[in-house]
Amino acid sequence: MEVIIGLIVNAVLWCIPLYRLLPRAGMNPNLAILGVVPILGTVLLWILAFRRWPGEGAAGV
């Protein structure tokens, strides 16, 4: 039972924000399901942190 509760909490804390953030970074929002697996969610977060975002090189930014 604790494992199921942990997965639900993990999904809320990782998957939902990733699902909203990934399209803004120009990535497929379905990759947010990787947030359920703790290591893959962390790797995805690092990829988001260090990749070039759309509009990053635009004037005035």
The whole domain housing 32 covers: 2-50
Residue 8 lies in a domain: yes
Q: How many domains does the chain have?
A: 1
* pLDDT for res 33: 87
Q: Which tens digit of pLDDT belongs to each residue from 50-61?
A: 988 888 776 655
Task: Kindly state whether residue 55 falls inside one of the protein's structural domains.
Answer: no
Q: What is the pLDDT of residue 60?
A: 56
Residue 2 confidence (pLDDT) above 70? yes
- Between the CA of residue 21 and those of 26, 31, 35, 59, what are the distances in Å? 9, 11, 12, 23
23-51 tens-digit pLDDT: 998 999 998 888 888 788 889 889 988 98
Does residue 43 fall inside a structural domain? yes
* Residue 61 belongs to a domain: no
- pTM of this structure: 0.70
DSSP 26: T
